[in-house]
Structure 1
Amino acid sequence: MLMQSARPLGELENPNEFIPRHIGVSEPDERHMLSVIGEASRRALVESIVPQSIKRARAMRLPPPVTEAAALAELKSIAKRNQVFRSFIGQGYYGTFTPGVILRNVLENPAWYTAYTPYQAEISQGRMEALVNFQTMVCDLTAMPIANASMLDEATAAAEAMTLAKRSVRSKSHVFVVAGDCHPQTIEVIQTRAEPLGIEVKLANSADEWATLLAGDCFAVLAQYPSTSGRIDDLRADVEKVHAKQATFIVAADLLALTLLVPPGEFDADIVVGTTQRFGMPMGAGGPHAAYLACRDDFKRSMPGRLVGVSVDSHGNPAYRLALQTREQHIRREKATSNICTAQVLPAVVASMYAVYHGPQGLKRIAQRVASYTAILAKGLAQLGHQPHKVAFFDTVTLHTGEASSALIAKGHALRCNLRESWPGYISMSLDETTRRTDVELLWKVFAKPGQPLPTFAAFEKGVEPAIPPELRRTSDYLTHPVFNTHHSETGMLRYIRSLSDKDLALDRTMIPLGSCTMKLNATSEMIPITWPEFAHVHPFAPRDQLQGYAELDEQLRAWLCEATGYAGISLQPNAGSQGEYAGLLAIKAWHESRGEHHRKVCLIPSSAHGTNPASAQMAGMQVVVTACDDNGNVDMADLQAKCEQHSANLACIMITYPSTHGVFEMRVKELCEMVHRHGGRVYVDGANMNALVGVAAPGEFGGDVSHLNLHKTFCIPHGGGGPGVGPVCVVEDLVPFLPGHQSGGLPAHAVGAVSAAPLGNAAVLPISWMYCRMMGAEGLTQATEVAILSANYISARLRDHYPTLYASENGHVAHECILDLRPLKDASGVTAEDVAKRLIDYGFHAPTLSFPVPGTLMVEPTESETLEEIDRFIAAMIAIREEIRRVERGEWPQDDNPLKHAPHTAGALLKGEWTHAYPRDVGAAILDERRHAKYWPPVGRVDNVYGDRNLFCSCVPMSAYE
């Protein structure tokens, strides 16, 4: 055997190894794709598409790429700078055990974390069942009739409850009363949200103030149950007082506590909000965690967020779907009541599975243990001379410690545990599911004087009665549905989780070609760090010196994102793209106000914009003015100039998406920015399409003042079935002082305040984007952008003879996505874009974005991470569907009886004895090449949306209810 000559070690190490693993197109593939498009090189293609006027002035200054192993090792060294102390801080964040079967098979399973928002009902039945379980869990534990499918965090849920109350009650007051004993981060977010809307927040910091404010004028009231200091109040009389003035009573409630406490629905609360974090989701320095919002039945059509309901499919079988979709902002736009992108689906699935696995008895047992340990802690503290401030509590004890507070907290730090000074002179400590006897003994040690004997657990072996008043103890049942009383063995739970994921299509099975949504690879190496203890098990309000790893991660990622966008400053706090939009508009508003121009409130938005834009503008207290687009999908510059001149004195900003929502690079974007600036406005560039810009052009360089990014799009955080996400807000130099933040972080005078509950938002998923940037470097990120543009143009060119691309540049090219025009098909065949979308399910694909931004179209975005083989498989499916349409056009199949009108086809429908359709069964099955790709069988036929809205069921119901 001939031995190869030795090679230098440097040649054997490939720091770029990740780039070709992320980018699915090889060099030979690229040459073939370019030949189809008609361009000589990828660089020439990009040069012909991106306007010369906006091209980057310089390359991104990023660290060179490293291997997956090297990136993980580097990130591990950063993670070790975090200190994982025993946390007794509470304040809405608690230690929890994620059952292994849920950790491995949901949180770490790409079948769940790479799925998209369940807008396509037929391929989302599994995750929607999990979300219905979530809604049922919330309804049962709160005793409220209806709950949505999750919110971003408890603080933003409380703020949404405030605005829900404002638009739902008869009271004309603008006063919102908040108990001072609510979680401080909730109060901060409420204050941020209230100011632009003209709502006056009044805090009640004592019992006397509470009584005075309840007797006065208000449209709604918020109380915490139990309070942040642990106190359990009987709120029944207060609810009656509030209702007497036709105002709304909102309760922020702990779901675990509600297994033992009288639920808010039983004392006539109107809205209940909270977090499900302690149902199996690690603290993660603040997120992601699924919040919840439940309300009275007559509020349901104004309820914010997503709502999963039950309908029937084309065969009359029960099927899940997103309910009441016509109220969402893509349709309501500037009339939207909230921003729909306010969900944390993956954490909601974890929480619902936690309830399914433990069941009602298991949850009650966990709660009783927490309550008992807390009562024992209090008894022992009393023996040491520290009498708890209140006698009724669930998991939190508060002591009046006066001037000794700082010393006691420092003593705790020396013993590697964290306590909380809830108010000056008061220390609170909270227990949770993970609390052990040694933890209680540790707390006794903190409060014991030198030489003072410690209490012993032996004195409490017979148990201590939980400190819950008898009149507030729950007697009603909850979680009675069979799903919560069946899957308690690991075998049963494993199979239940698998049965749900098998019903769905996610990126682990197939390409998801959703225009505007950028469904790209979420590499395993990027996902690994999120469950490292150093990231997962730290409290968001732990002392800063314990969060040095997160601080370094935050600093590095912000610096890299500034390089990618051309901006001067970035905040990672917004925990969704919608929140980044909102924070950016608040920064613009605050900048104008700092200059004495409070009247500048007009926000110009092109008619093609994402529906989230006008919704966010409304929330920021701005007046939306729509500007026209021309026949090519570009902003109509003449109309824009007229609107700028008309509103010059009051112009606050313009919101544009670039490349445009129509999938093209608008040539006059710099001119647009200059025009708005001349009239005193600022330019907001929506970062939804940043995957076409990174390394090629930077919004902060070509005229943008503010952008938000979607880290769950461009920077590889997975969509998680509809959340979590991160929506950093990026700004130019003079807007940096107006970035959002918490008061505890020492805000500049004009900063807009907190927009999410935790200072770092969804901090636990930031390592994903850090890993992506570290492994790709400037070269890889630029290549990803160029290949995304290449893949979109290849699809457009291949399908040109079958489905024309609606918008393109003068040379016929598109950006990173293309809009296929299906509107002419309806007159000739009766086939609609929705029919094609449903038929794609039979071919094993998630449909492209349907009827947005133009009704009757499909918007396709392949991303850079799809292989040519998969792209060609999608193209083959689209061509096969076009041939089916031609058969309808030729009269071979009736317009009302063809494979498209009856799609998708379930296995049961195809296998039943009698077949009465005009086409054969095998055509209905739509198997292009069974040897190369496993067949996906949809679990349900086409879902009836109208039936679902007329017969609204949003929780687990008996089968008889469907009859």
Structure 2
Amino acid sequence: MRRTTLGAHGHPPARVEFTQHMSSQMTPSIASSSDHLQPSDRFAPRHLGPRPEDQKAMLSALGLSSMTDLLFEAIPDAIRNDDHLSLRPAASESEATAVLRQMMSKNHVLKSAIGAGYHNCLIPSVIERTVFRNPGWYTQYTPYQAEISQGRMEVLLAWQTMIADLCGLPLAGASLLDEPTAAAEAMAMARNIARGKGNVFLLDVDAHPQTIAVVLGRAVPMGIEVRVVSPEAFDFGDDVFGCLVQMPNTTGRLHDHSGVADAARAAGAVPIAAVDPLLLTLMRSPGEMGFEIAVGSAQRFGVPMGFGGPHAGFLATQSNHVRRMPGRIIGVSRDAEGRPALRLTVQTREQHIRRDKATSNICTSQVLLAVMSGFYGIWHGPEGLTEIAERVRDLADLAANSLEAAGFAVEAGPRFDTVAFRPEHVENTLSQAEEAGWNLRDFGDGRVGLTVDETFTPQDLELILSALGCTLVPTQSSNWPESLVRSSTFMTDAVFHAHRSETQMLRLIKRLESRDLSLCHSMIPLGSCTMKL
């Protein structure tokens, strides 16, 4: 069995080439020279639009007789490779699918309770069916042209509103690539805000390991010195321009970091919080704690883990920092006839206008995933999200109490969804969980982590704990310190309260889809790099 240890250095598993599998599964087709014996689901003829007669007409217009002639005319001799490629006959779509399924059957599939910023979730079927699997939504992704992207932009406006409300900050962007890169962008943004403060950035030692790795990597070419220390040890000297804390931290602990935010601002540094959006339905927001920037991932809002991505990252901030924000921002405007319309706003920050002076060099984002998360927020509303969060918190408390009652050394709370504990033998504990069908997290220092999520049931928890020699021991819900408990409202806009039935949601999705131009309708522009046919 193969196990992932986060924070440890290891070697990637050996990779078996797909072509080797194809070679072992298939024999050269006797139909290679007989068109009428070729499979009916060949990929190339369906993927490439022109039929043979279309190609002949286009070649005739160019004064050429074959595709080979066209290649010789178009590709200079100096860069053309005339070596013969020894390739097997192409696999049909069904043949390739069969081989891939056979390869996938070798996987040992376990359920994940690893956490570290990645969670299983329940994707509402109406969203999975009519957004995630719908070319009317997935073919056009980033809204390059506002005039043909009004549907997408309306959902993204709802997403921005949801993120800004949860974070307690007035402004959010239309998504970034993921949480670690959002953290790195926030560091660069903080440096831009606190010009002249020096080149030192303080980073929470208990941030998620992937966030620490990406921030450190981004800092090197920028000449930034990153000090990875405990927030309690943050020292805001004259050379510190910003800091980042993780809430909850990677081991599951919750802290009131308002003191860190106050100290940073008093020293002229920019405080940043990396946060879990589901937690923010219960916990006081970063804005209320005094943080100027909040980042995170909306993956657990209705997006599958997908072996680590893609997921939509987010960044929220104060309004006075808008021109230093990375990524796209959806704004409300009016069209030529005075009707309300949406547009990409404050584009003078962006690379295609400002070039080397741009404060935003993000040319794309995870729009499809942000759209899914936006619809997820609309589907559940603030009450539904809060209910999910309370259930997750109560399951984590149940796990902690049960482990403690069985004699495990459990890390103290308050906690949200993750329980860190110290077993006598880490390897035995991880193996016992694997045999029960679950992956737990190995912190690499004698601790094991168990993270619960929206998909967990009491029966799931009982199965894991039973494998570890525990029984369920009921407990009272957590009593968080008053300084952590959220009292402010969020997601009060009507859109988050009007679509609770599947029919209502279906109609909303279809209405917004009809306001977009996608590959379902015609050729669509996708920026300077591609043109989808």
> TM-score, length-normalised on structure 1?
0.51
- What is the deviation of 1:332? 1.7
1:442 maps to which residue? 463
- What is the deviation of 1:410? 2.1
1:487 maps to which residue? 499
- What is the deviation of 1:327? 2.0
Q: In 1, Cα distance between the equivalents of 2:304 and 2:88?
A: 31
1:157 maps to which residue? 182
- What is the deviation of 1:348? 0.4
Q: In 1, Cα distance between the equivalents of 2:419 and 2:244?
A: 22
Aligned residues: 501
Q: In 2, Cα distance between the equivalents of 1:374 and 1:427?
A: 14
AA partner of residue 178 (structure 1): L
Q: 1:514 to 1:265 in 2, by over 3 A?
A: closer
1:455 maps to which residue? 471
2:49 to 24, 30, 50: 24
Alignment of structure 1 residues 383-398 onto 2, 5 Å: 383-398=405-420
Q: Secondary structure at the match of 2:443?
A: strand
- What is the deviation of 1:13? 4.1
- What is the deviation of 1:315? 1.1
AA partner of residue 38 (structure 1): G
Corresponding position: 1:374 with 2:396: yes
- What is the deviation of 1:45? 2.3
AA partner of residue 494 (structure 2): P
Q: In 1, Cα distance between the equivalents of 2:353 and 2:530?
A: 21
2:240 maps to which residue? 218
Alignment of structure 1 residues 834-845 onto 2, 5 Å: none
Q: 1:369 to 1:59 in 2, by over 3 A?
A: farther
- What is the deviation of 1:42? 2.6
Cα deviations by residue, 1:175-202 (Å, 9 ceiling, x for unpaired): 1111111000100000100011110010
Q: In 1, Cα distance between the equivalents of 2:128 and 2:199?
A: 45
Q: In 2, Cα distance between the equivalents of 1:514 and 1:377?
A: 48
Q: 1:62 to 1:344 in 2, by over 3 A?
A: farther
AA partner of residue 138 (structure 1): I
Identity across the alignment (%): 45
CA contact (8 A) 2:144 2:527 kept: no
1:468 maps to which residue? 480
2:529 to 509, 517, 521: 517
- What is the deviation of 1:82? 2.7
2:131 to 91, 99, 106: 106
CA contact (8 A) 2:121 2:302 kept: yes
Q: Which runs of 5+ in 2 are unaligned?
A: 1-29
Q: Secondary structure at the match of 1:78?
A: helix
- What is the deviation of 1:76? 1.3
Q: 1:489 to 1:16 in 2, by over 3 A?
A: closer
Alignment of structure 1 residues 541-690 onto 2, 5 Å: none
2:11 maps to which residue? none
Q: In 2, Cα distance between the equivalents of 1:376 and 1:50?
A: 66
1:411 maps to which residue? 432
Corresponding position: 1:255 with 2:277: yes
Corresponding position: 1:46 with 2:68: no
2:27 maps to which residue? none
1:505 maps to which residue? 517
- What is the deviation of 1:442? 2.5
Q: In 2, Cα distance between the equivalents of 1:114 and 1:355?
A: 22
- What is the deviation of 1:115? 1.1
Q: In 2, Cα distance between the equivalents of 1:182 and 1:390?
A: 18
Cα deviations by residue, 1:304-337 (Å, 9 ceiling, x for unpaired): 0111111100111111111111221112222223
Q: Secondary structure at the match of 1:53?
A: coil
Q: In 1, Cα distance between the equivalents of 2:62 and 2:520?
A: 29
Q: 1:326 to 1:510 in 2, by over 3 A?
A: same
Q: 1:250 to 1:342 in 2, by over 3 A?
A: farther
Q: 1:54 to 1:264 in 2, by over 3 A?
A: same
Cα deviations by residue, 1:890-947 (Å, 9 ceiling, x for unpaired): xxxxxxxxxxxxxxxxxxxxxxxxxxxxxxxxxxxxxxxxxxxxxxxxxxxxxxxxxx
1:92 maps to which residue? 117
Q: 1:100 to 1:62 in 2, by over 3 A?
A: farther
Q: In 1, Cα distance between the equivalents of 2:365 and 2:417?
A: 27
AA partner of residue 43 (structure 1): T
2:19 maps to which residue? none
Q: In 2, Cα distance between the equivalents of 1:27 and 1:441?
A: 62
Corresponding position: 1:310 with 2:322: no
2:94 maps to which residue? 69
Q: Secondary structure at the match of 2:153?
A: helix
Q: In 2, Cα distance between the equivalents of 1:383 and 1:339?
A: 52
Q: In 1, Cα distance between the equivalents of 2:360 and 2:496?
A: 32
2:206 to 154, 161, 181: 181
Q: In 2, Cα distance between the equivalents of 1:242 and 1:513?
A: 44
Decide which moves more: 492-501 or 322-331: 322-331
2:346 to 324, 340, 344: 324
Q: In 1, Cα distance between the equivalents of 2:362 and 2:507?
A: 32
2:23 maps to which residue? none
Alignment of structure 1 residues 71-150 onto 2, 5 Å: 71-150=96-175
Q: Secondary structure at the match of 1:321?
A: strand
AA partner of residue 497 (structure 1): I
- What is the deviation of 1:406? 2.3
CA contact (8 A) 1:182 1:224 kept: yes
Q: In 2, Cα distance between the equivalents of 1:420 and 1:165?
A: 32
- What is the deviation of 1:217? 4.2
Q: Secondary structure at the match of 1:112?
A: helix
Q: In 2, Cα distance between the equivalents of 1:15 and 1:60?
A: 25
1:531 maps to which residue? none
1:285 maps to which residue? 307
> TM-score, length-normalised on structure 2?
0.90
- What is the deviation of 1:295? 0.9
Cα deviations by residue, 1:376-406 (Å, 9 ceiling, x for unpaired): 11111111112421220000111133x5222
- What is the deviation of 1:225? 0.6
Q: Secondary structure at the match of 1:219?
A: strand
Q: 1:68 to 1:414 in 2, by over 3 A?
A: same
AA partner of residue 379 (structure 1): N
Q: In 1, Cα distance between the equivalents of 2:526 and 2:188?
A: 32
1:336 maps to which residue? 358
Q: In 1, Cα distance between the equivalents of 2:297 and 2:150?
A: 24
CA contact (8 A) 1:259 1:363 kept: yes
Cα deviations by residue, 1:508-544 (Å, 9 ceiling, x for unpaired): 1111256743344xxxxxxxxxxxxxxxxxxxxxxxx
Corresponding position: 1:357 with 2:379: yes
1:735 maps to which residue? none
Q: In 1, Cα distance between the equivalents of 2:444 and 2:486?
A: 30
Cα deviations by residue, 1:687-732 (Å, 9 ceiling, x for unpaired): xxxxxxxxxxxxxxxxxxxxxxxxxxxxxxxxxxxxxxxxxxxxxx
Q: In 1, Cα distance between the equivalents of 2:403 and 2:480?
A: 18
1:56 maps to which residue? 81
CA contact (8 A) 2:177 2:312 kept: yes
Q: In 1, Cα distance between the equivalents of 2:373 and 2:66?
A: 49
- What is the deviation of 1:466? 3.0
Cα deviations by residue, 1:612-642 (Å, 9 ceiling, x for unpaired): xxxxxxxxxxxxxxxxxxxxxxxxxxxxxxx
AA partner of residue 455 (structure 2): T
Q: Secondary structure at the match of 2:252?
A: coil
Q: In 2, Cα distance between the equivalents of 1:149 and 1:278?
A: 17
CA contact (8 A) 1:371 1:467 kept: no
- What is the deviation of 1:267? 1.1
AA partner of residue 104 (structure 1): R
AA partner of residue 420 (structure 2): T
